[in-house]
Chains A and B, each alone.
Chain A
C-alpha cells in the first residue's frame, strides 16, 4: 500500500477511527490494533514476506529475552551473535547475494579463472533494510545493557512494524519508540493537526515535486547518450529534487501519520539542501540512518577519537557501508565513497561541526559566504547523486563525461516530457517555502502563524490545489522502498 494511494486514504481513517473510538480505553487493544493494521499494510505488497517480518520480529524478541535472562557471558554472546547472524543473513541472501556472486565471478574472470555461481531469483522484501536495522539496534542495545528486553511481544512487534515507518523508516530506536508504545496515549488535538499538516506537506513533496521531477530525470538518465551537457545537468538536478521530495515526503507522511496516533517518530530530514558543508548535509539527510551508523558502527570503530588515520579510516568505512546499505550495486558504493571524499576536508581540518545551527537563523537571506557555501555543497551533492541514480558505473562515468563537453553551454532540450516549465515553477515555490520554514521541523509547521487564520487556511487550500492540479498520480513508488 502506498502512502499516495486511494487505498491508504481509506485505510488511514479506518485505523484512526478504531484506534481513538473503539480501543481508546485499552492500551493493549490499541497496540494490538496497530499491529494488525501494520501487518495488513505490509501484506498489501506481498503477504508471503509477512512471514519473514514476523520471523525476524520473533527472533529479536526471543534472543533479546534470552540475553537478558542469562547470567553467563558466553550464553549472552551466543544469543547476540545468533540474532546478528540471522538478521544480516536475511539481508545478505535477499539483498546482496546476487551482487556478491556476480562480482566474484567477474573478478575471477578477470584473472582468467572460469567460475559459475548460481544466481537466486527472488524479489527484495520491501522495507527489509529498515526493519532489520530496527531489530539490530534493539539487540545491540540489550547486549550493551543500554535497555531492558521487552517482555510484551505485541508491544515489541509494534515497535518493529508500526506501519508508518515499516517500509522506509525513519529507523527507530527502542529507547525512543518503545516507551511511547508502552505508555497510554491521550488524544492531542494540536499534535493531530500538526500531523495532518505534515502529511499534507509530505504529499506535496511526493506527488508534485518528486513525481514530476522523476519524469524528467528518468527520461534523461534513461537516454543520457542523446542529451547535451546542459540537459544532463538538468537531469541530475531533477533527480536531486526527486530523491529529496520522494524520501523526505515519505518521512513527512510517516511522521505525520504517527502523530495522528499520538506517537512521535525520529526526525529524518532537516532541510539538507541548505547545508553549508557536506558534514552538515549528513547531519540533515536521512538523519535516522546516519545516527544509526554513527552509534552502531562509527563509535564502536573508535569514532573521531584516536589518530587522524583512524578518523579517516572510520569515515570511509561508514560512508561505504552506508552506500552499500542503499543497494547491491557499485554505483551506491561509489556514491558513498564520493561523499567520504567530499567530507574529508572537514575531518582533516576538524571543521565538521562548524555549521551546527540552520543557516541564516533569524534572518531572511543568507550571507554571501553562506550562499556560496550552500551552492558549493549543493553542487557536490548533485554530482554524487549522478552515481546514485545511474544504472551502472559505466553509465555514470559517461554521464559525467558528457556533462563536461562543449554542449554544456547550450540550452537544455528534453524530449517526450511536457511538464518542464510547471515543474520548474513548483520546485522554485517548494524551495521558497522550505527556506521560509527552515527553522521549524518541517517547512509548513508554523507557516503563517503570524497572519490571520484566514490566510493560513488559504495557504493550505493552495497546497491542496497544487497537489490536485500539478500532482502526478501515476502510482509512483517511493524510491526508498527498494532499499
Chain B
C-alpha cells in the first residue's frame, strides 16, 4: 500500500508540478512589466468592443493604438486597462467606445453567460485581482468551473509564446485587441431582415457594465489620463439605435463629466459597413482619415467638441 501511495503521489506530484509551472509561466507572462507595452509614439489608446476594433485603422491615424477587442465588455476592458496604463506612461488619452448597446442588458450576457465565459475567462483570468475574480465567480461560477482545461492550456501557452516574441520585439497576435479590417459587406441582407429588431425596447440597465465603466473612468483619472467616450459610426438601421433615450439618460446620469466624441452621424454609404454595427475596411479607412484630420486640427483640445465634429462632418461631406 505504501508503495502504491508513494508511486501515485510521485506521479501526481510531477503532474501537479508541470501544471504549476505552465500556470505560473502563463500567468506571470501576462503580468510582467512588458506584455502590454505599446509603441512609445502612441499617445492615444482606443478601447472597447468590436465597433472601435473595426473602425480605427491605426496605420492611418498616427500616435494612436487601437486595442478594441470584439466581445469585450467593460469588465474585461477594465482588466486590460489596469495593465496597459502603468506600462505605458506616454498615453495621454483613452478613447473608450460608448455606444447604444453598452446600455442594453445584452452586456450582462456578454460578460458572464456560458459561451462568453468559456472564451473570455481563460484569457483574462491572469489579469484579475481578488475583487474581479469574486465578481465573476458570483455571476456564473458554474461556467467558470466548466471551462475546458484546453482553453487554459491554449491561453497560457500563447501567453508564454507571445511574451517570448515580445522580448524579441515581435508583436505576435491580437489576443487582447487590435485593428481588424473587415472584408465583408452584409448590410443589404441584414437590413432586409431587420424588422425583428424594431421591438427592442428594454428599459433595464446593465448595472455591472455601468459599474465597470465607472471604474475605468476612475482608473484613468487616477492615472492622470484623460478619458473620452467615443461613438463610432454605425448604420442607421443598427438595432440598438432605438434605445437612444436610454443611452442619453445613462450618459447624463452616470457620466456627465466625460466628454463624448459622437460619430454616429458620420457620412458613409452602405457599402462601407461590414454589417449594421461595424465598419468594413473601406469604411474604416474613410473614417480613420477623417478622424486623423480632426486630431490634427486639435479635436481633443477643443472646448465644444460636439459642435466641432458636427461642423467638420458638414464641411467635408455635405
Contact = CB atoms under 8 A, between A and B. Distances in A.
A123 B153 CA distance: 40
Contacts of B18: 461
A460 B11 contact: yes
B153 A469 contact: yes
Interface string B117-131: 000000000000000
Nearest to A419: B150
B4 A193 contact: yes
B150 A193 contact: no
Interface string B146-160: 101110010000000
Interface residues of B, number: 14
Nearest to B154: A469
A471 B11 contact: no
A470 B150 CA distance: 7
B15 interface: yes
A471 B4 contact: no
A153 interface: no
B148 A473 contact: yes
Interface in A372-415: none
A468 B4 contact: no
Contacts of B15: 461, 464
A473 B146 contact: yes
Interface residues of A, number: 16
Contacts of B3: 189
A473 B151 CA distance: 12
A419 to B, nearest CB: 10
Contacts of A464: 15
Contacts of A193: 4, 7
Nearest to A467: B149
Contacts of B4: 187, 189, 192-193
Given A196-B8, A457-B11, A460-B11, A468 B149 contact: yes
B7 A468 contact: no
Contacts of B153: 468-469
Interface string A468-481: 11110110000000
B1 interface: yes
B8 A471 contact: no
A125 to B, nearest CB: 28
Nearest to B146: A473
A469 B3 CA distance: 29
A20 B1 CA distance: 8
B5 to A, nearest CB: 10
Given A193-B7, A460-B11, A464-B15, A471 B149 contact: yes
Contact of A469 (B11, B14, B150): B150
B115 to A, nearest CB: 13
Contacts of A196: 8
A449 to B, nearest CB: 16
Interface in B258-294: none
Interface in B1-53: 1, 3-4, 7-8, 11, 14-15, 18
Contact of B149 (A189, A461, A469): A469
A403 to B, nearest CB: 32
B150 A468 contact: yes
A96 B15 CA distance: 48
A90 B11 CA distance: 46
Interface in B128-174: 146, 148-150, 153
Contacts of A187: 1, 4
Contacts of A460: 11
Contacts of A20: 1
A115 B288 CA distance: 74
B52 to A, nearest CB: 28
Given A461-B15, A464-B15, A468-B153, A189 B1 contact: yes
A460 B10 CA distance: 13
13 contacts: A187-B4, A193-B4, A193-B7, A196-B8, A461-B14, A461-B15, A461-B18, A468-B149, A468-B150, A468-B153, A471-B148, A473-B146, A473-B148
